[in-house]
C-alpha cells in the first residue's frame, strides 16, 4: 500500500532520475573539440556579427588613417589595434558561448556589486579630460559604465525571472529596479556620464516592460524622470552637459564670431558636412574628405558620419538593415530560450545594441546632444569591443542551449 | 493571460518600437540630410576644405614712359598659427619664444595667441625671405621635436616697393596694408592694378597641408594690370633736382610745383610737388614737422583756440588735449606732405594769366596794331586805385609791349575792352571753370568771382583785377593746360599721366589717346601769342627763363596770397613761371611755381624763371629738340677741346685753330708735352688753348680776374687777355645781361687755359 506521501516521493525520485539520465549524455557532448565549436550556435546571428565586425573594422580603418597619419605618424595605428582587440574579442565570444548562461543567475548580484565598486573606484581615480570614466590596469582600460550596463541587464533578467509571478506588484516589480537604477545613476551623474544614464534608464524600462510590470508604473516613472531632469536643469547642475547641449541644434547656424559656440559645435558641424557630402551614392570607399582632420576623432563616436560620406545613403541603410537583422535575430533567439532568464537576458542585450545604434546616429545627425555614445562594431576602442563580443557570446550561449535542447 | 504570453507579446511590441520607430527615425533623418540638404552641406564642406587657400593676386607694376619701374610688388609672406594643434604648454612656450626671436614680436602676446583654441591666428604680415627661411626651419624643428605638423603656416603675400622712393611721390601714390591703393595712381587705377585673387582648389586637410591624394581645381590668381605713365623718370629727376635746390636757395616755405606737359597731347612728362615723401614709408613724418608737433604745449592750445583757458583743465584733461592736438597735427602734416600741389592747390595765377587775357583780346579782335595803352604808374577803377609795379609808369605801349612790360594798367584797359561777359566765356573755354579731369585723385576746383551768388558774374572792380590774374584761384594744372592751348594752335587738351594699361604679359589692354576738348582760340591768334611770348622771353619780363640755343616763350607771375600772413608770420607769395619751347613749333610747356619763398626774393622772374631755364636746358636736349643758336649765341656756345698733346707745335696750332680755338704756346720745345684745358674739357668757341712745350712752362700760373658785373663781350675780352677760358651760363641774350657769379673766385692761381664758368643774369626785371 502506498501512501500519498510515498507516491509523491517516488514520483519525485523518478523525475530526478529521468532528469539525471537525460542530462548526462548532453554534458558529454559539450566536451570541447574544434569541430564542435559551431555546434548549436545560431548561424544567422553569428554570421551577422562577423559581417558587422568586418564592415566595421574596414570603415574604422578608412576613417582613422588620415588622423593616424597626421597625428601619430602611422596610418595603420588604429587598424592594428582594433584587429587585435577583435581577435581577442572573438575568442572571448566563442569561449563564453560555451558557458551555460545559468551561471550568471548566481553571479547577478555579485556582478552588480562589481559595477558599484567600479563606479566608486573611478570617482576616486584622477579625472581624464575632466571626467571620471575609466578604470584600467596599465594600458588596458575599461569604462565603468560598460560594466554597469551589463550588470543592470543581468540583474533585471535575474530578478524578472525569479519573481516572474510577482512582477505586477510594486514591491517586487518596481522598487528593486528603481533602487538599482537610482543608485547607479547617481554614481554616473558624479562621473559625469549622462548619456549612459539615458541608456540605463531606457534599458531598465525595457526590461521591466518585458518582465510584465503594470504599465501605470512605467507612466509614473516617466513623469517622475522628466520632473527630475527639469529640476536638475533649472538648478544648473548639468554643468557638463550644458556645454555640450549648448551647441545642440546650432551646428549649422554657428558662426566664427562666437568662437566658443563655433568650437563647441565643430565636431557635429563637420559630421553633418560629411553626411551631406555623401549624398545617395557616397564619394566611394576611402574617398571621404571630412576625415582629413576636419572631423575630429573620426574613428570614435562619429565614425558613421564618415560611413555616410563614403558609402552614401544606400550604404548607410544597408548597414542599418544589418543591425536591424541582428536585433531581430537576437530577439528570436531570446524568445526561443528554454527559460525566462534566458529570454530576458537575451532581449536586454540585443536591445542595448539597437539602442546604441539609434542614439549614436541621432547624435551625429544633431538630433541629440553630442554626449559620447559609440557605435557597436564600428567605433574604435578595445575594451568596449571586447565587452560587446562578450555579450554576443552570452546571446550565442542562449542560442546554443535552446538549439541543443531541441536536438 | 500567462506570464510567458505577455512577455512574448510585449517583446514583439518592443521589437516594433525599436525597428519601426528607432531605425525608421534614423533612416528618415539620414535621408533628409543626404538627399534634401545634401547639396547645401556638401557645398559648405567643400567651401571649408578649400576656402582657406585663397591666394593673393600680384599687384600690377607702374612704369614710367620708358619702362623704368616706379612701383613694383615683391613676394612676402604672412605667418599664421593654428594653436589648436598644440598639445601642451611647453610646446606653446617654445614656439612663442622662437617666433618672438625671429619676428621681433612680443613674447607674451605670442604666448596668448598660442593659447587660443583656433586654427587661424594671423601673427605677422609681410615678412621677407630671410625671415621666411627661419620660419621654415622652425617648422621642421617643431615637427621633429614634438611630432606636430602644421602649427605654423606661411601664406603668400605681396609688398609694394618704390625703387625711386620719393620721386614723383604725390603722383605715384602708395598702397595700404591690404595692398589697396590709397593715393595717386595707386588709388586712381586701383581696379586695374589689383587683379583678381585666385584660389588653389587643391584639397587641403584642416591642417592646411596637402592631402596625400587630391582633387585639383585651380583658379589662378589673375595678376593686376600694369600702368605705363607718361611721366619720364629722367625728366622728373631733372625737375626735382632743380626744384629741391631752389627750395633751399630761396628758403621756400611751402614747397614748390613743376609740371612739364606735351602741349599737343596733354601727356604729363613730369609733375613734381617738392619736397615729396618716401613712398616706401609714407607714414613717416618729416623731422621738421616732428619737431613742430613735439613742441605742442598748453600755449599752443590757447593760441590755436583749441581750449580757451588751460588753467580750467585738470592735468589729465590737459594731457589729453595736448595729445589730441598732436595727433591732429600729425595727420595734418602727413596730409600736407602727400598733397599733390600741382592739382590740389589753388592760387592767383597773377601776371602769367596775362597771356590768356591777351589771347582773348586778340581772338575778339578788340586790340590791333593801332591800339595804345597808357600807363602812368597807377590806374583808377571806380573807387580803387591800382598800382603798376613800375610806379613811374610805362608810358604809352602797344599790346605787345604791355605784355612784355607786364603792365597792369594796360591789362585793365584790355580787360575792359573784352568785357565781363566775354571774359567769363573765355575763362570757361580755357577750362578754368572745370576740373581738367586729369587721371589723379584730389584735383581741386577753381574759385572764380560770383556776384550775388552767380558764378561768372563780376562786381565793378572784379574784371579789372581779373585781367591781370588776381582775386580768382585756379590750379597749376589748369594754368599749364591753358598755356598749352595758347601756344599749340588753340586746342584745349586733356592732361593725363597714364599712357597705357598693360596686362601681366605686357600686352596692351588700353591706350590712352589724346583728347582735345575744344578749339579755344584760332591758330593765327595762337601764332601771334607765341611770337609775343618768345619776344617776352628774350627781352621782356620773361627773359630770365631764356635757354641759350632754344626758342622759348614764357611769362612770369608773382602773386600775394589772399591771407595776409600765415601762422608763422610769413607773408605768402607765389612766384611762378609758365613757358613753352620751341617757340616756333611748341612741344612742351613747363610751369614752375614756388609757394612762399622767404629769402627776400619772391618775384617769379627772380625765383622761378632761372629754375625754369635750368630745367629746360636739360630737358630740351633730352627730348632731342635740336638747338638753334643765334649768331650772338655762337660766341658763348661751349665746345670740347681736342687732343693736341704729342703733336709738333705747328701741327697742334693748325689743328686747334681748325677746331675754333686761339692758341698760346708756352716754352721753347718743338713738341706739345701738355695742354690746358685737357682733352674733352668744355669751353667757349673761340676760347684759348694753351700748349706747353717744356717742363718749366707748365708750372706757370695766372691769377683769376673779376668777371662779375661785366657783360658777355667784356667777359670774353678779359678771359682772352688772361689766357683763360670761360663757359657762359644763364641769360645772355638781352642787352643788359651781366655776370653775377664765377665758378673760380677772383685771385685764385690757376694754370693758363683753365675754364671758368661765368653765370649771367638779366638786369632788374619786374613782372
Q: Cβ contact (<8 Å) for A335 and B117?
A: no
The SS3 assignment for B397 reads strand
Q: Is the pLDDT of residue B52 over 70?
A: no
Please give the pLDDT value at position A13.
Answer: 63
- The tens digit of pLDDT for each residue in B180-194 reads 889 999 999 999 998
Domain ranges within chain B, ordered by starting residue: 3-36, 52-229, 348-628, 636-761
Residues of B whose CB is below 8 A from A327: 15, 18-19
**Listed residue (B740, B720, B548) closest to B631, CA to CA:** B548
Q: Cβ contact (<8 Å) for B33 and A276?
A: yes
Q: Is the pLDDT of residue B85 over 90?
A: no
- Report how many Cβ contacts below 8 Å link chain A to chain B: 152
Name the residue facing B7 among A66, A73, A212 (closest C-beta).
Answer: A212
Smallest CA–CA distance, residue A186 to chain B, in Å, is 27
Please give the pLDDT value at position B629.
Answer: 67
Which has the minimum average pLDDT: A183-187, B78-82, B453-457? B453-457
Name the residue facing A365 among B29, B150, B212 (closest C-beta).
Answer: B29
- The tens digit of pLDDT for each residue in B327-341 reads 888 888 888 889 999
Q: Is the pLDDT of residue A138 over 70?
A: no
Residues of A whose CB is below 8 A from B87: none
Smallest CA–CA distance, residue A141 to chain B, in Å, is 22
CB B389 within 8 A of CB B767: yes
- Contacts (Cβ under 8 Å, ≥6 apart) of B282: B169, B174, B182, B183, B334, B338
User: Is CATH 3.40.710.10 what the domain over B348-628 is classified as, yes or no?
Assistant: yes
Q: Cβ contact (<8 Å) for A275 and B41?
A: yes
Q: Cβ contact (<8 Å) for B30 and A313?
A: yes
Q: Is the pLDDT of residue B56 over 90?
A: no
Residues of B whose CB is below 8 A from A165: 3
Residues of B whose CB is below 8 A from A324: 19, 23
B257 alpha carbon, distance to own chain's centre: 9
As a three-state string, the secondary structure of chain A is CCCHHHHHHHHHHHHHHHHHHHHHHHHHHCCCCHHHCCCCCCHHHHHHHHHHHHHHHHHHHHHHHHHHHHHHCCCCHHHHHHHHHHHHHHHHHHHHHHCCCHHHHHHHHHHHHHHHHHHHHHHHCCCECCECCEEEECCEEEEHHHHHHHHHHHHHHHHHHHCHHHCCCHHHHHHHHHHHHHHHHHHHHHCCCHHHHHHHHHHHHHHHHHHCCCHHHHHHHHHHHHHHHHHHHHCCCCHHHHHHHHCCCCCCCCCCCCHHHHHHCHHHHHHHHHHHHHCCCCCCCCCCCCCCCCCCCCCCCCHHHHHHHHHHHHHHHHHHHHHHHHHHHHHHHHHHCCCHHHHHHHHHHHHHHHHHHHHHHHHHCCCCCCCCCCCCCCCCCHHHHHHHHHHHHHHHHHHHHHHHHHC
Q: What is the mean pLDDT of residues B3-24?
A: 88
Please give the pLDDT value at position B457.
Answer: 79
Cα separation, A122 vs B570, whole angstroms: 87
Residues of B whose CB is below 8 A from A272: 33, 41
Q: Cβ contact (<8 Å) for B14 and A279?
A: no
Q: Cβ contact (<8 Å) for A334 and B11?
A: yes
Q: Is the pLDDT of residue A104 over 80?
A: yes
Confidence of residue B479 (pLDDT cuts 50, 70, 90): very high
Q: What is the mean pLDDT of residues A160-185?
A: 89
Smallest CA–CA distance from B32 into chain A, residue: A276
> What's the burial of B133, exposed, middle or buried (CB within 10 Å: 0-12/13-18/19+)?
exposed
Q: What is the number of other CB atoms lying within 10 angstroms of the CB of residue B144?
A: 8
Please give the pLDDT value at position A31.
Answer: 54
What does the DSSP 8-state code read for residue B267? Answer: B
B704 alpha carbon, distance to own chain's centre: 42
Smallest CA–CA distance from B148 into chain A, residue: A71
Please give the pLDDT value at position B285.
Answer: 84
Please give the pLDDT value at position A19.
Answer: 62
C-alpha cell at A61: 580603418
Please give the pLDDT value at position B539.
Answer: 81
**Listed residue (A211, A148, A202, A225) closest to A174, CA to CA:** A211
Please give the pLDDT value at position B411.
Answer: 92
- Contacts (Cβ under 8 Å, ≥6 apart) of B393: B375, B376, B377
Q: What is the largest CA-CA distance in chain A?
A: 97
The answer to whether residue B45 neighbours chain A at the CB level (below 8 Å) is yes
* ipTM confidence: 0.85
Confidence of residue A256 (pLDDT cuts 50, 70, 90): confident
What does the DSSP 8-state code read for residue B22? Answer: I
Residues of B whose CB is below 8 A from A313: 30-31, 34-35
Q: Is the pLDDT of residue B521 over 50?
A: yes
C-alpha cell at A127: 579625472
Q: How many CA atoms does the CB half-sphere of B159 hold within 13 Å?
A: 15
Q: What is the pTM of this model?
A: 0.59
Pairing mode of beta strands B121-127, B682-684: unpaired
**Listed residue (B733, B724, B634) closest to B685, CA to CA:** B634
Measure the CA dihedral B111/B113/B117/B120, to 10°. Answer: -140
Q: Is the pLDDT of residue A249 over 90?
A: no
The answer to whether residue B35 neighbours chain A at the CB level (below 8 Å) is yes
Cα separation, B269 vs B480, whole angstroms: 13
Q: Cβ contact (<8 Å) for B207 and A70?
A: yes
- The tens digit of pLDDT for each residue in B101-113 reads 888 888 888 888 8
Higher pLDDT, A378 or B629: A378
Please give the pLDDT value at position B343.
Answer: 92
Q: Cβ contact (<8 Å) for B22 and A355?
A: yes
Confidence of residue B638 (pLDDT cuts 50, 70, 90): low
**Listed residue (B183, B125, B131, B121) closest to B152, CA to CA:** B121
Smallest CA–CA distance from A211 into chain B, residue: B7
CB B118 within 8 A of CB B206: no
Q: What is the mean pLDDT of residues A119-143?
A: 78
Q: For chain B, percent helix, then strand, then coil, each to nearest 5? A: 40, 25, 40
For B510, phi then psi, to 5°, come to -155, 135
Cα separation, B214 vs B488, whole angstroms: 65
Q: Cβ contact (<8 Å) for A273 and B26?
A: no
Q: What is the mean pLDDT of residues B363-368?
A: 91
Q: What is the mean pLDDT of residues B229-238?
A: 94
Cα separation, A272 vs B289, whole angstroms: 60
Confidence of residue B358 (pLDDT cuts 50, 70, 90): very high
Please give the pLDDT value at position B213.
Answer: 43
Please give the pLDDT value at position B423.
Answer: 92
Beta strands in B148-210 (DSSP E): 152-161, 198-201
Cα separation, A135 vs A119, whole angstroms: 9
Q: CA distances (Å), B248 to each of A170, B244, B347, B607, in order?
A: 109, 7, 22, 11
Cα separation, B352 vs B37, whole angstroms: 75
Name the residue facing A292 among B40, B42, B206 (closest C-beta).
Answer: B206
Confidence of residue A2 (pLDDT cuts 50, 70, 90): very low
Q: How many CA atoms does the CB half-sphere of B372 hold within 13 Å?
A: 5
The answer to whether residue B19 neighbours chain A at the CB level (below 8 Å) is yes
Q: Cβ contact (<8 Å) for B203 and A289?
A: yes
The answer to whether residue B14 neighbours chain A at the CB level (below 8 Å) is yes
CB A31 within 8 A of CB A386: no
Q: What is the mean pLDDT of residues A87-98?
A: 93
Higher pLDDT, B698 or B647: B647
Q: Cβ contact (<8 Å) for B18 and A66?
A: no
C-alpha cell at B385: 586805385
Residues of A whose CB is below 8 A from B212: 66, 69
Q: Cβ contact (<8 Å) for B14 and A209?
A: yes
Q: What is the mean pLDDT of residues A341-367?
A: 93
N residues, chain A: 407
CB A195 within 8 A of CB A372: yes
Confidence of residue A110 (pLDDT cuts 50, 70, 90): very high
Smallest CA–CA distance, residue A375 to chain B, in Å, is 13
Higher pLDDT, B35 or B638: B35
Name the residue facing A313 among B18, B34, B40 (closest C-beta).
Answer: B34
Q: Is the pLDDT of residue A48 over 60?
A: yes
C-alpha cell at B65: 614712359
Name the residue facing B117 among A263, A279, A313 (closest C-beta).
Answer: A263
Percent of chain A with pLDDT over 70: 85
Residues of A whose CB is below 8 A from B207: 70, 293
Smallest CA–CA distance, residue B508 to chain A, in Å, is 43
Smallest CA–CA distance, residue A331 to chain B, in Å, is 8
Smallest CA–CA distance, residue B86 to chain A, in Å, is 11
Smallest CA–CA distance, residue A35 to chain B, in Å, is 34
CB A374 within 8 A of CB A384: yes
Q: Is the pLDDT of residue A375 over 60?
A: yes
Q: Cβ contact (<8 Å) for A278 and B34?
A: yes
Which has the minimum average pLDDT: A35-44, B523-532, B546-555? A35-44
The answer to whether residue B26 neighbours chain A at the CB level (below 8 Å) is yes
For A252, phi then psi, to 5°, come to -90, -20
Q: What is the mean pLDDT of residues A160-175?
A: 86
Which has the minimum average pLDDT: A160-169, A295-304, B173-182, B313-322? B313-322
CB B580 within 8 A of CB B487: yes
Residues of B whose CB is below 8 A from A344: 7
Which of A73, A172, A271, A289 to mutate: most B Cβ within 10 Å? A289
Q: Cβ contact (<8 Å) for A331 and B39?
A: no
User: Is CATH 3.40.220.10 what the domain over B636-761 is classified as, yes or no?
Assistant: no
Q: What is the mean pLDDT of residues A176-204?
A: 90
Cα separation, B7 vs B251, whole angstroms: 111
> What's the burial of B287, exposed, middle or buried (CB within 10 Å: 0-12/13-18/19+)?
exposed
Please give the pLDDT value at position A28.
Answer: 47
Per residue in B324-352, is it b (16+ CB within 10 Å) or e — as a string? ebbeebbeebbeebbbbbbbbbbbbbbbb
Pairing mode of beta strands B62-63, B226-229: parallel
The SS3 assignment for B534 reads helix
Please give the pLDDT value at position B195.
Answer: 84
Q: Which CATH superfamily is domain B52-229 in?
A: Penicillin-binding protein 2a (Domain 2) (3.90.1310.10)
Higher pLDDT, B575 or A263: B575
CB B733 within 8 A of CB B659: no
CB A292 within 8 A of CB B205: yes
C-alpha cell at A94: 566563442
Confidence of residue B214 (pLDDT cuts 50, 70, 90): very low
Confidence of residue B51 (pLDDT cuts 50, 70, 90): very low
Residue indicated by cell numbers 595803352: B373
- The tens digit of pLDDT for each residue in B38-49 reads 888 888 887 776
Residues of B whose CB is below 8 A from A167: 3
Confidence of residue B636 (pLDDT cuts 50, 70, 90): low
Residues of B whose CB is below 8 A from A271: none
Q: In the sheet that B662-666 helps form, which strands lie side by side, from edge to edge? A: B662-666, B688-692, B674-676
- Contacts (Cβ under 8 Å, ≥6 apart) of B379: B385, B386, B387, B388, B408, B409, B412, B413, B464
- Contacts (Cβ under 8 Å, ≥6 apart) of B600: none
The answer to whether residue B40 neighbours chain A at the CB level (below 8 Å) is yes
Please give the radius of gyration of chain A, using alpha carbons only, rounded to the nearest integer: 23
Cα separation, B397 vs B541, whole angstroms: 15
Please give the radius of gyration of chain B, using alpha carbons only, rounded to the nearest integer: 37
Residues of A whose CB is below 8 A from B206: 292-294
Please give the pLDDT value at position A329.
Answer: 94
Please give the pLDDT value at position A52.
Answer: 96
Name the residue facing A292 among B7, B11, B211 (closest C-beta).
Answer: B211
Q: Cβ contact (<8 Å) for A323 and B4?
A: no
Residue indicated by cell numbers 572571448: A92
Please give the pLDDT value at position B250.
Answer: 87
- The tens digit of pLDDT for each residue in B705-758 reads 888 888 777 887 788 778 888 777 776 655 567 788 888 888 888 888 788 888
Percent of chain A with pLDDT over 90: 43
Amino acid at each position: 500500500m502506498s501512501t500519498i506521501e510515498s507516491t509523491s516521493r517516488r514520483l519525485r525520485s523518478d523525475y530526478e532520475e529521468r532528469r539525471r539520465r537525460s542530462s548526462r549524455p548532453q554534458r558529454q557532448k559539450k566536451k570541447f573539440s574544434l569541430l564542435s565549436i559551431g555546434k548549436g550556435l545560431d548561424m544567422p546571428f553569428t554570421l551577422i556579427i562577423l559581417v558587422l565586425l568586418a564592415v566595421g573594422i574596414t570603415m574604422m580603418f578608412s576613417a582613422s588613417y588620415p588622423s593616424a597619419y597626421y597625428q601619430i605618424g602611422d596610418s595603420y595605428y588604429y587598424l592594428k589595434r582594433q584587429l587585435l582587440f577583435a581577435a581577442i574579442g572573438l575568442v572571448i565570444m566563442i569561449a563564453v558561448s560555451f558557458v551555460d548562461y545559468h551561471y550568471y543567475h548566481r553571479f547577478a548580484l555579485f556582478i552588480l556589486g562589481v559595477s558599484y565598486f567600479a563606479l566608486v573606484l573611478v570617482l576616486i581615480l584622477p579625472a581624464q579630460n575632466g571626467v571620471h570614466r575609466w578604470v584600467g590596469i596599465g594600458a588596458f582600460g575599461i569604462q565603468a559604465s560598460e560594466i554597469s550596463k551589463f550588470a543592470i541587464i543581468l540583474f533585471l533578467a535575474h530578478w524578472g525571472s525569479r519573481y516572474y509571478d510577482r512582477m505586477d506588484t510594486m514591491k517586487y516589480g518596481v522598487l528593486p529596479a528603481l533602487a538599482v537604477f537610482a543608485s547607479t545613476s547617481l554614481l554616473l551623474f558624479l562621473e559625469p556620464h549622462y548619456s549612459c544614464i539615458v541608456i540605463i534608464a531606457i534599458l531598465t524600462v525595457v526590461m521591466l516592460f518585458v518582465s510584465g510590470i503594470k504599465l501605470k508604473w512605467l507612466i509614473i516613472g516617466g513623469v517622475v524622470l522628466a520632473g527630475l531632469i527639469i529640476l536638475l536643469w533649472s538648478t544648473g547642475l548639468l554643468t557638463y552637459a550644458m556645454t555640450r547641449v549648448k551647441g545642440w541644434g546650432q551646428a549649422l547656424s554657428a558662426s566664427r564670431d562666437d568662437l566658443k559656440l563655433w568650437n563647441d559645435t565643430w565636431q557635429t558641424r563637420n559630421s553633418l558636412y560629411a553626411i551631406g557630402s555623401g549624398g545617395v551614392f557616397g564619394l566611394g570607399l576611402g574617398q571621404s574628405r571630412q576625415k582629413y582632420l576636419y572631423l575630429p576623432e573620426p574613428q570614435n563616436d562619429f565614425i558613421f558620419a564618415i560611413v555616410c560620406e563614403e558609402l552614401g545613403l544606400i550604404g548607410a541603410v544597408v548597414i542599418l538593415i544589418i543591425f536591424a537583422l541582428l536585433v531581430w535575430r537576437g530577439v528570436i533567439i531570446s524568445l526561443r530560450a528554454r527559460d525566462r532568464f534566458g529570454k530576458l537576458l537575451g532581449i536586454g542585450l540585443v536591445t542595448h545594441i539597437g539602442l546604441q545604434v539609434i542614439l549614436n546616429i541621432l547624435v551625429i545627425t544633431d538630433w541629440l546632444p553630442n554626449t559620447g555614445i559609440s557605435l557597436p562594431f564600428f567605433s574604435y576602442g578595445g575594451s568596449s569591443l571586447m565587452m560587446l563580443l562578450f555579450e554576443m557570446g552570452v546571446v550565442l550561449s542562449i542560442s546554443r542551449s535552446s538549439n541543443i535542447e531541441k536536438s | 493571460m500567462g506570464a510567458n504570453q505577455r512577455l512574448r507579446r510585449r517583446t514583439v511590441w518592443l521589437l516594433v518600437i525599436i525597428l519601426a520607430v528607432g531605425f525608421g527615425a534614423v533612416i528618415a533623418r539620414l535621408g533628409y540630410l543626404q538627399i534634401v540638404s545634401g547639396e547645401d552641406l556638401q557645398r559648405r564642406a567643400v567651401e571649408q576644405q578649400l576656402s582657406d587657400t585663397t591666394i593673393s593676386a600680384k599687384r600690377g607694376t607702374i612704369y614710367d614712359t620708358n619702362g623704368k619701374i616706379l612701383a613694383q610688388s615683391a613676394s612676402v609672406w604672412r605667418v599664421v598659427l593654428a594653436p589648436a594643434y598644440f598639445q601642451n604648454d611647453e610646446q606653446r612656450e617654445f614656439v612663442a619664444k622662437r617666433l618672438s626671436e625671429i619676428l621681433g614680436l612680443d613674447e607674451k602676446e605670442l604666448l596668448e595667441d598660442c593659447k587660443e583654441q583656433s586654427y587661424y591666428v594671423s601673427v605677422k604680415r609681410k615678412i621677407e625671405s630671410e625671415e621666411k627661411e627661419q620660419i621654415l626651419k622652425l617648422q621642421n624643428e617643431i615637427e621633429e621635436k614634438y611630432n606636430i605638423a602644421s602649427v605654423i603656416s606661411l601664406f603668400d603675400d605681396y609688398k609694394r616697393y618704390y625703387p625711386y622712393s620719393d620721386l614723383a611721390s604725390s603722383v605715384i601714390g602708395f598702397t595700404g596694408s591690404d595692398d589697396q591703393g590709397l593715393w595717386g595712381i595707386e588709388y586712381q587705377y586701383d581696379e586695374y592694378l589689383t587683379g583678381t585673387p585666385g584660389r588653389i582648389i587643391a584639397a587641403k586637410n584642416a591642417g592646411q597641408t596637402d592631402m596625400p591624394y587630391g582633387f585639383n581645381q585651380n583658379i589662378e590668381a589673375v595678376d593686376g594690370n600694369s600702368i605705363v605713365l607718361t611721366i619720364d623718370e629722367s625728366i622728373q629727376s631733372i625737375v626735382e633736382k632743380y626744384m629741391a635746390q631752389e627750395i633751399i636757395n630761396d628758403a621756400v616755405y611751402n614747397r614748390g610745383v613743376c609740371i612739364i606737359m606735351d602741349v599737343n597731347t596733354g601727356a604729363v612728362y613730369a609733375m613734381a610737388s617738392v619736397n615729396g615723401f618716401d613712398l616706401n614709408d609714407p607714414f613717416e613724418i618729416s623731422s621738421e614737422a616732428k619737431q613742430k608737433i613735439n613742441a605742442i604745449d598748453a600755449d599752443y592750445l590757447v593760441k590755436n583756440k583749441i581750449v580757451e583757458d588751460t588753467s580750467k583743465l585738470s592735468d589729465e584733461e590737459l594731457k589729453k588735449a595736448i595729445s589730441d592736438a598732436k595727433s591732429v597735427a600729425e595727420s595734418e602734416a602727413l596730409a600736407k606732405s602727400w598733397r599733390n600741389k600741382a592739382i590740389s592747390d589753388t592760387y592767383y595765377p597773377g601776371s602769367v594769366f596775362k597771356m590768356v587775357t591777351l589771347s582773348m583780346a586778340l581772338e575778339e579782335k578788340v586790340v590791333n596794331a593801332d591800339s595804345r595803352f597808357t600807363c602812368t604808374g597807377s590806374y583808377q577803377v571806380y573807387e580803387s586805385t591800382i598800382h603798376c609795379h613800375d610806379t613811374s609808369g610805362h608810358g604809352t605801349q602797344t599790346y605787345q609791349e604791355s605784355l612784355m612790360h607786364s603792365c597792369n594798367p594796360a591789362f585793365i584797359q584790355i580787360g575792359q575792352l573784352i568785357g565781363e561777359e566775354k571774359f567769363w566765356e573765355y575763362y570757361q573755354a580755357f577750362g578754368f571753370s572745370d576740373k581738367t579731369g586729369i587721371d589723379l585723385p584730389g584735383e581741386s576746383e577753381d574759385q572764380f568771382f560770383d556776384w550775388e551768388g552767380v558764378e561768372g558774374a563780376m562786381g565793378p572792380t572784379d574784371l579789372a583785377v581779373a585781367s591781370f590774374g588776381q582775386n580768382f584761384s585756379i590750379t597749376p594744372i589748369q594754368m599749364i593746360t591753358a598755356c598749352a592751348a595758347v601756344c599749340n594752335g588753340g586746342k584745349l587738351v586733356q592732361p593725363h599721366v597714364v599712357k597705357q594699361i598693360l596686362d601681366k604679359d605686357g600686352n596692351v589692354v588700353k591706350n590712352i589717346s589724346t583728347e582735345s576738348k575744344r578749339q579755344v582760340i584760332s591758330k593765327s591768334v595762337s601764332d601771334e601769342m607765341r611770337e609775343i611770348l618768345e619776344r617776352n622771353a628774350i627781352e621782356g619780363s620773361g627773359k630770365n627763363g631764356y635757354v641759350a640755343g632754344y626758342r622759348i616763350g614764357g611769362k612770369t607771375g608773382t602773386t600775394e596770397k589772399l591771407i595776409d600772413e600765415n601762422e608763422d608770420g610769413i607773408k605768402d607769395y607765389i612766384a611762378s613761371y609758365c613757358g613753352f619751347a620751341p617757340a616756333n613749333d611748341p612741344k612742351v610747356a613747363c610751369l614752375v611755381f614756388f609757394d612762399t619763398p622767404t629769402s627776400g626774393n619772391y618775384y617769379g622772374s627772380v625765383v622761378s624763371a632761372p629754375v625754369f631755364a635750368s630745367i629746360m636746358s636739360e630737358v630740351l636736349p633730352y627730348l632731342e629738340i635740336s638747338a638753334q643758336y643765334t649768331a650772338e649765341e655762337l660766341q658763348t656756345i661751349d665746345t670740347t677741346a681736342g687732343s693736341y698733346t704729342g703733336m709738333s707745335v705747328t701741327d697742334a696750332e693748325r689743328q686747334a685753330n681748325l677746331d675754333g680755338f686761339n692758341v698760346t704756346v708756352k716754352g721753347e720745345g718743338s713738341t706739345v708735352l701738355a695742354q690746358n684745358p685737357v682733352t674733352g674739357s668744355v669751353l667757349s668757341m673761340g676760347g684759348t688753348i694753351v700748349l706747353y712745350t717744356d717742363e718749366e712752362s707748365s708750372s706757370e700760373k695766372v691769377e683769376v680776374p673779376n668777371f662779375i658785373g661785366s657783360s658777355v663781350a667784356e667777359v670774353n675780352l678779359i678771359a682772352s687777355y688772361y689766357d683763360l677760358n670761360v663757359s657762359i651760363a644763364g641769360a645772355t641774350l638781352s642787352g643788359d645781361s651781366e655776370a653775377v657769379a664765377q665758378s673760380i673766385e677772383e685771385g685764385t692761381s690757376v694754370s693758363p687755359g683753365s675754364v671758368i664758368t661765368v653765370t649771367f643774369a638779366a638786369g632788374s626785371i619786374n613782372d
